Amino acid sequence: MATVANRSLMRVSSPQGRPVDKLPQFLLEMMENCPIAGSGVNGWLFAVSRHLHAHLDQQSIFQLLRDKTRHCGRPVTDAEIVRQIKCSLSAAWTPNSPEAFAHADQLDHGIVIQPRSPSWPEADLEAIRAIVSSGWDCTICGSRVRSV
């Protein structure tokens, strides 16, 4: 078993066995700390997956997570792993310099949100000016108020 100091030098390999990327220390430590059954395995799968998308393709992420969950205390199905990989894609970490990461260029770098139509109509400034300039009277809490 690799020590923490040696893990920072570990390389994750693609299914073909080629080195893909040197992973950051925090991610290596995160991957080595799969919770035990009943303590958030699915949440862990999601959290680790969202960081791995910039480094690895989905098949490599799947293989890695399958291996890391083998001893969590319960069988983790392939469907669970695939679901968390897919769900985490929408929240995948995206680097500021995607060219420095093997798979970051494949990530969606933002969600396009269409602007909502306003729930109120646009203000009619002419009508507002006419009301204000006419010295509009109103009653507020029983007191008569007159705009000037």
| Residue 126 CB contacts under 8 Å (≥ 6 apart), including other chains | none
Backbone angles phi, psi at 68, to 5 degrees: -75, -20
Angle between the 58-68 and 78-89 helix axes, to the nearest 10 degrees? 130
Does the predicted model carry a pTM greater than 0.85? no
Give me the pLDDT at residue 107, please.
57
Query: DSSP letters along 63-101, please?
Result: HHHHHHTTTSSSPPPHHHHHHHHHHHHTT----S-GGGS
Give me the pLDDT at residue 69, please.
94
Give me the pLDDT at residue 101, please.
66
Q: What is the pLDDT of residues 76-110, one digit of tens each?
A: 999 999 999 999 988 888 777 666 666 665 655 44
Instruction: DSSP letter for 104, please.
Output: G
Give me the pLDDT at residue 47, please.
94
Give me the pLDDT at residue 121, please.
82
- 15, pLDDT greater than 80: no
Q: What is the mean pLDDT of residues 121-145?
A: 75
Give me the pLDDT at residue 95, please.
72
- Cβ atoms 20, 41 nearer than 8 A: no
Confidence of residue 21 (pLDDT cuts 50, 70, 90): very low
Q: What is the pLDDT of residues 35-77, one digit of tens each?
A: 999 999 999 999 999 999 888 888 989 999 999 999 999 999 9
Q: And the tokens for 54? A: 């910039």
DSSP H/E element including 20: strand 19-22
